[in-house]
Amino acid sequence: MAAKKKQTAKKKEVKKAPAPRKTVKAKSDPASKQADSASRVKQSFPIVGIGASAGGLEAIEGFFAHTPSDIGIAFVIIQHLAPEHKSIMGSLLKKYTNLKVAEVRDGMKIEPGCVYLNPPNKEVSTMNGRLHLSEPTQARGARLAIDYFFRSLAEAEGDKSICIVLSGAGTDGTLGLKAIKGAGGMAMVQEEIQAKYNNMPRSAIDTGLVDYILPVEKMAAELIKYVKHPYIGGTKKVLKAKEKFEDYLQKIFMLIRSTTGHDFSQYKMNTIRRRIERRMAVHQMNKISEYVAYMKKNPAEVKTLFKDLLITVTNFFRDPEAFKSLNDRVIIPLVKAKPPEAFIRVWVVGCATGEEAYSVAILFSEAMKLLTKRLTLQIFATDIDADAIEHARLGVYPDSIAADVSPERLKAYFVREENAYRVKKQIREMVVFATQNLVKDAPFSKLDLVCCRNVLIYMNTALQKKILPLFHYTLNPGGYLFLGTSETTGEFADLFSAVDLKWKISRRKPTPVSLTAARLPLPLNGSGAEVREEAKRKFEPTSANVRQLAERIILQEFAPPCVLIDEKFDVLYFNGDTDKYLSVPMGEPTFNVLKIAREEIRYKLSTLVHKSLKEKKPVRSEETTIRYNGSVSPVNIVVKPVLDPSIKNEFMMILFETPKGSAEQSGREKHPPDRAVDPRVATLERELQSTKEYLQTTVEELETSNEELKSTNEELQSTNEELQSTNEELETSREELQSTNEELETVNNELRNKVEQLSEANNDLNNLLGCTEIATLFLDNDVKIKRFTPRAAEIFKLIAGDVGRPISDIVHNLLYDDLVGDVEDILKNLGRIEKEVQAKNGNWYLMRILPYRTIENAIDGVVITFVDITSQKRDQQSLQESEEKCSALINQTQAGIVLADVETGLITEGNPAFERLTGRNIKALKTMKMWELRPSEKLEEAKKAFFDAVKKKKGSSTELPFRRPDGQVVDVDCVYSLVVIRDKRYMQTIIREIDKPHKP
C-alpha cells in the first residue's frame, strides 16, 4: 500500500526517475553471461519488445499512430490471446502505421521497420536475430507470454534490449522488465492514469526500474532519442577525448556516499562505467561532466544511479548442479552431524528478492525429512537493497518460477494464488530477512554455512580480501562457504579448504581466532580507510622497512598495553600484553571489553568507559590492584576518546599503566599474619564484597532481561511483518481477481472491433442487395428460413416472424411447385439449379439455388435468388418475333442475299434464293469466297469488284455471271452494300438473275 501511495505522488512528471530497484534472476551467473556475450549476435538496429493485455489495443494504436515509418527499429508485440481466438490485430494496426505488420512465424528473421505480432497459443523468443515459436509450457491460466519474450530479449540483446509495458490487468511483464534492466537495457511504461487497465503498468513502475513513464503519444519521440544516443547506437564514444572517466568517477562516488552512505569506490570499474553511461543515454547527455552537474542539481538522480548499481540476478535453484552438490556435500552431512533439536545457522549474503534463501531452506527441509531428524533452522538473508528485502519478506513470486522449481516442490513448499506462488509458512519462518551493508555492518556469528554467490565478482580484489576473512570469522569450526562459479577464496587458502572446486564450496580451516581477527577490516572514516596490523602465517614482518620495524619495537617495549574499542565496547585492536587485564570467557566468544575484563577491574572499567563516552574527555582511575598468576599488581586505567575530526565513528582507547616504583607482591604477603586487621575495615570489606556480588547478580539479571526484551521485540517485528504480509495478500488477491478477466477483456476488445466491422459489412451487404433488387432467401439444412431480403417478401409473402419456419409452410406467388424438392436435391447432391419461373402476376424470374458454404467450406443450408427478368423476357419475345418476321421476308424473297467477310471474302450467310441461284447449299457456300462463284476468266474482275465495293463503303452494282456446279453460267446483277454487325464488318450482296442461263 505504501509503495502505491508513493507511486501516485510521483506520476505527474512525464519522464521519471526510477524508484528503488528489486532484483531479477537469470539462469546463469553474471560472469558466465559476460563470457557468453562475445558469441551473442546483436542487431545493428534496436529490437523493442512491447507487452500489452487488457485495454492494450487502444494503447498500441496510439503508440504507432505517432511512430514514423522510417524509424529503423523492429517491434515485437506480445499480447495475451485466447488459444482458439484468431487475432485481428494486424488488420487493425495497418490503419495506424505504414510499418510492415506481420504475424510471427518460426525462424522468421527480424527486419528493421517491421512490427511482429505473436500468434495465439505460442510462446515467442528471440535468438541470433530471429524469432522462434514454441508450445506453451504452462497451463493457460499461468502463461506469462510477455515475461517469456522479455527474458529472451534480455539474453539476446543485453544492454541494447528495450521493453515497453502498456495497459493490462495483470502483472505479466514485470519479471521480464527486471531481466531487461538486469542486462543493462531500457524500460518504458505507459502512464497509469492513461492506461485503461493500470495493473501491468503499476506493477512495472513499483519495481523502481522504469526509465520512462509516459503517455503513449510521447513514447516514440523519447524512444528515437534514446536509440540515437552514442551509448546505444555505438557511432561514437560517449566520453569526449578531453574528458577522463576517472576524473569524474570520484565525484560521483562522493555524491552517492553523501546521499546514501554507501561507498562504491572499491567496486569493479567496468560495471560502474556501463551503468553510468546508460543513465547518460536516458538523459540524452554525451559528456560525463554534464551528468555530474545534473546529479548535483538533482539528488533524485543520485539515488536512481545508486539503485542501478545494485542490480543483481537471482532465481530459485540457480545452477541446479551447484545446488545438488551443496545438498550432497554440505546440507545432508550437516543435518547428519547435528544432534536432535540442535540449531543450524545459515547466512545468505546478497539475497536480493529471496529466491536463493528459500532454495536453501527447501533443501534443508528435504534433508530433515529424508533423515527423519528435527532441527531448528535459522537462515539470515541480507541485502543492501531495502526494497528487495521487503519483496523477499512477502514470499510471493509469479508462476513463471515453475521453470526453475519442480512440480513436486511447488506442491510441497508453495501455495498457488491465481497467477502467483506464495512460500508456505513452514519455509517462510525459517528465514529472517534484514537490510545489511556487507562492508560496513557487523556480521552474524556462529554460522554453519555462508552462501555468498555472485556478490564478490562486483568488488575489486582489495575489497574481496576484506570480506573473505570476515566469512572465516563468522563460521563455526568446520563451517562451509558457498561462492559463485566465478568467485574463489584466492590467497586465503590458509583459511578455507576446497570441498567442491567446480561449484566453489569450501570449508573453514581451524585457523586461530587471533589470526583471523587480525585480518579483519577496521573502518575509521566514511572513505573506508583502515588501521590494522597485518598478521602473517608465521608472524614475520611484512617488509624490511627500518622505520616501521623501529616503531613496532618501541610499541612493544615501551608503550603500555592498550585496546581500541568502538561505541558498542567491542575490541577492535589489541596492543601489547593485555592478557593480565583481559581474558577470554567461557561459552559464546565475544570481543566486548566489559565481558572479557578480569573481575577485579570489570566494574571500575565499566564506570570509566561510560564516563568518558558521556563527557567526551579522558578519565583515569586511581590505583587498582589486580591478581594474575598468584601475584598482585597495581594498575592505573586510562580511557581516552579518539577525537579526530576525520573520524565519524566513536572510538575509545583503554590503556593499562603500571604505576612507577610499584612492584608485584605475592598474594600471601598482602596481609602479613602478624599484622592486626581492623574489625571495622573487615566489615566494610565484607559489605563491599556483598555489594559487588549483588551488583553482579543485578547486571546478569539486567542482561537476561535485555535478551528477553530483544527476543520479544523480534517476535513483535515478525508479527508486524506477518500482518503487513496479510494486508498485502488481501490487496494482491483483489488485483489477481481482476486479472482473471484479462484474456476475456482482450478478446472483448477485439470482438468489439470485429462486431463494428461486421456491422459495417452487413450494412454494405444490405445496401448491395437492396440496390440490385435481387430477392434472396437463406435456408438452413432443415429447409427453414434463416434470412431474407425485402424483395423476397414480395414473392413469398414473408414477414419478420417467419424466420425459423420451413419454406414449405410459406405461400408463394410462383407458378412452380418443385421448390422444396429442388432445395432438398441441392442439399443432397451439392449441385446447382438455375431455372426461369413465372409468377402469377406474369412477372418472370431467374431462379438460382446454390449450397450455402461457410469459411471452413462446410454446407450450412442453401441460398435461393430470384432475379427479375420480366423486361428481358419481353425483349426476348419481341426479338424472337422480329427474327421470325425477318426470316420470313428473307426466305420468301426471289433475290439472293449473301453476307461475306470484308477482309477475306468468305461467305458467312445466305438465303434460300441465293442457294437456288448458285446451285449450292449454304454449308458448301460457307467454304467459298464471293469471287470463286464466277467463271475462271472472270475471277480477277469479280475479286476487284468486291474489294472496290469495300473501299467505297457504299452500295454499288455490278453485272457478273455465276457458274453453277453443273457448268451452267447465270448472268446476275449484284448490288453491294457495307454493313456492321457487332463491330464486325460484312459485305452484303443482293443478287438478281437478269438473263436466262445460256450454254457455255
Q: Dump the DSSP string for 40-109.
A: ----SS-EEEEEE-TTHHHHHHHHHHTS-TT---EEEEEE---TTPPP-HHHHHTTT--SEEEE--TTEE
Task: Take residue 181 and report the three cell numbers written for it.
Answer: 534492466
DSSP string, 96-164: T--SEEEE--TTEEP-TTEEEEPPTT-EEEEETTEEEEE--SS-GGG--HHHHHHHHHHHHHGGG-EEE
For the cut 80, the answer to whether the pLDDT of residue 330 exceeds it is yes
Asked if residue 766 has pLDDT above 90, the reply is: no
Share of residues in the chain with pLDDT > 90 (%): 12
327/499 Cα distance (integer angstroms):
12
* pLDDT, average across residues 66-90: 83
Give the mean pLDDT of 741-770.
77
pLDDT of residue 326: 93
Residues facing residue 867 across a β-bridge? 846
Q: What is the pLDDT of residue 787?
A: 83
- The stretches of 229-268 forming alpha helices (DSSP H) are 230-233, 245-260
Q: What residues contact residue 286 under an 8 Å CB cut-off, 6+ apart?
A: 229, 230, 238, 240, 280
Alpha helical stretches, state H, 229-347: 230-233, 245-260, 269-282, 288-297, 299-309, 320-326, 332-337
Determine the Cα–Cα distance for residues 23 and 388; give it in Å rounded to an integer. Answer: 6
Averaging pLDDT over each range in 178-182, 603-607, 688-692, 845-849, which range is the top one? Answer: 845-849
Supply the pLDDT for residue 906: 85
CB 17 within 8 A of CB 307: no
What is residue 419's predicted lDDT score, i.e. its pLDDT? 63
CA distances from 252 to 272, 315, 989 (A): 10, 31, 110
Between CA 790 and CA 774 the distance in angstroms is 9
Residue whose C-alpha is closest to residue 974's, from 964, 987, 986: 987
pLDDT of residue 683: 63
Q: Which residue has the higher pLDDT, 311 or 198?
A: 198
Over range 924-949, report the average pLDDT.
76
| pLDDT band with cut points at 50, 70 and 90 for residue 189 | very high
By mean pLDDT, which of 338-342, 419-423, 473-477 is the weakest? 419-423
Q: What average pLDDT score do residues 372-384 get?
A: 89
Q: What is the mean pLDDT of residues 567-593?
A: 81
> Is the predicted pLDDT of residue 57 greater than 80, yes or no?
yes
Confidence of residue 835 (pLDDT cuts 50, 70, 90): confident
Q: Where are the beta strands (DSSP E) in 418-483?
A: 420-423, 431-435, 447-452, 475-483
| Beta strand pairing call for 571-575 and 562-565 | antiparallel
Q: Which residues pair with 597 in a beta bridge?
A: 582
User: H helices of 372-452, where?
Assistant: 386-394, 407-413, 425-428
Q: Is 436 left (phi over 0), alpha (psi -120 to 50) or beta?
A: beta
Residue 3, pLDDT above cutoff 50: no
Whether the per-residue pLDDT at 538 is higher than 50: the answer is no
Q: How confident is the model at residue 914 (pLDDT cuts 50, 70, 90)?
A: confident
Rounded distance between C-alpha atoms, residue 736 and residue 396, angstroms? 12
Distance CA 621, CA 606 (A): 11
User: What angle, 0 to 180 degrees and rounded to 10, lies between the N-to-C axes of helices 386-394 and 679-739?
Assistant: 70
Q: Dig out the grid coordinates for 433 from the structure.
A: 530477512
How many Cβ atoms from other residues are within 10 Å of residue 615's Cβ?
10
Within 635-678, residue ranges assigned H as helices are none
Q: Give the least confident one: 301-310, 372-381, 588-597, 991-1000.
A: 991-1000
Return d(Cα 909, Cα 900) in angstroms, integer: 7
Q: How far apart are CA 762 and CA 750, in angstroms?
A: 18
Within a 10 A sphere around the Cβ of 625, how many other Cβ atoms? 14
Quick: pLDDT tens for 250-287: 677 777 666 666 666 666 666 677 677 767 777 767 77
| DSSP 8-state code for residue 931 | G
As a whole number of angstroms, the distance between CA 143 and CA 398 comes to 10
d(CA 844, CA 253): 96
For the cut 70, the answer to whether the pLDDT of residue 311 exceeds it is no
Type and span of the H or E element at 351: none
- DSSP letters, 864-887, are EEEEE-HHHHHHHHHHHHHHHHHH
Q: What is the mean pLDDT of the chain?
A: 77
pLDDT at position 481, please?
92
Q: Are 454 and 350 in contact (CB under 8 A)?
A: yes
- Write down the number of H helices and E strands in the chain: 32, 37
CA 762 to chain CA mean position, Å: 41
pLDDT tens digits for range 720-734:
877 876 776 776 666
pTM here is: 0.47
The SS3 assignment for 592 reads strand
CB 18 within 8 A of CB 304: yes
**Separation between Cα atoms, residue 792 and residue 798, nearest integer Å:** 7
Q: What local confidence, expressed as pLDDT, does residue 463 receive?
A: 75
pLDDT tens profile 666-679: 444 444 444 455 66
Cell of 988: 452484303
pLDDT score recorded for residue 953: 61
Range in 186-190, 502-506, 533-537, 874-878 with the lowest mean pLDDT? 533-537
The total of other beta-carbon atoms located within 10 Å of residue 729's CB is 15
Query: Quick check: 867 pLDDT over 60?
Result: yes
Provide the pLDDT for residue 995: 58
**DSSP 8-state code for residue 416:** E
Give the residue numbers annotated as catalytic, written as ranges: 53, 80, 172
Which helix or strand (DSSP H or E) is residue 936 part of?
none
* Residue 45 confidence (pLDDT) above 80: yes
Q: Does 530 score more than 50 pLDDT?
A: no
Q: Per-residue pLDDT averaged across 614-619, rounded?
A: 86
Q: Which residues pair with 214 in a beta bridge?
A: 190
Residue 576 Ramachandran class (φ > 0 left, ψ -120 to 50 alpha, else beta) = left
Cα separation values, 931 from 394, 637, 916, 989, 991, Å: 110, 153, 17, 12, 13
Of 645, 503, 628, 648, the closest CA to residue 578 belongs to: 628
Higher pLDDT, 589 or 382: 382
Contacts of 616 (CB under 8 A, 6+ apart): 641, 643
Buried b (16+ CB within 10 A) or exposed e, 511-549: beeebbbbbbbbbbebebeeeeeebeeeeeeeeeeeeee
pLDDT tens-digit readout, 117-168:
998 888 899 988 899 988 876 655 556 788 889 989 988 888 788 999 999 8
Q: What is the mean pLDDT of residues 372-387?
A: 87
Distance in angstroms (rounded) separating the CA atoms of residues 511 and 494 = 8
Sign of CA dihedral 916, 922, 926, 927: negative
Whole-number Å distance between alpha carbons of 138 and 419: 11
**Res. 372: pLDDT tops 80:** yes
CA distances from 599 to 565, 578, 603, 625, 645 (A): 19, 14, 8, 11, 35
Residue with the bigger pLDDT between 48 and 974: it is 48
**What's the pLDDT band for 949 if we cut at 50, 70, 90?**
confident
Decide if 243 contacts 222 (C-beta within 8 A).
no
385-394, 427-436, 595-604 — which one is most confidently predicted on average? 427-436
Query: Residue 28: is its pLDDT beyond 60?
Result: no
> 27 pLDDT exceeds 50?
no
**pLDDT single digits (tens) 4-20:** 433 433 333 333 333 33
108-122 core/surface letters (b: 16 or more CB in 10 A; e: else): bebebbbbbbbeebb
Going from the C-alpha of 127 to that of each of 15, 107, 410, 557, 793, the distances in angstroms are 31, 9, 30, 70, 62
Quick check: 361 pLDDT over 90? yes
Dump pLDDT digits (tens) for 651-668: 889 998 888 765 555 444
Q: Which helix (H) or strand (E) holds 831?
A: none
pLDDT tens digits along 445-480: 889 999 988 787 777 677 777 888 888 888 988 899
- pLDDT greater than 80 at residue 223: yes
Residue 165's DSSP bridge partners are 51, 189
What pLDDT does residue 401 have? 76
**Is pLDDT of 937 > 90?**
no
Least confident of 201-210, 344-353, 429-438: 201-210
238 pLDDT band, cuts 50/70/90, is: very low
The packing angle between helices 199-206 and 2-9, to 10°, is: 100
Supply the pLDDT for residue 986.
81
**What pLDDT band is residue 331 in, cutting at 50, 70 and 90?**
very high
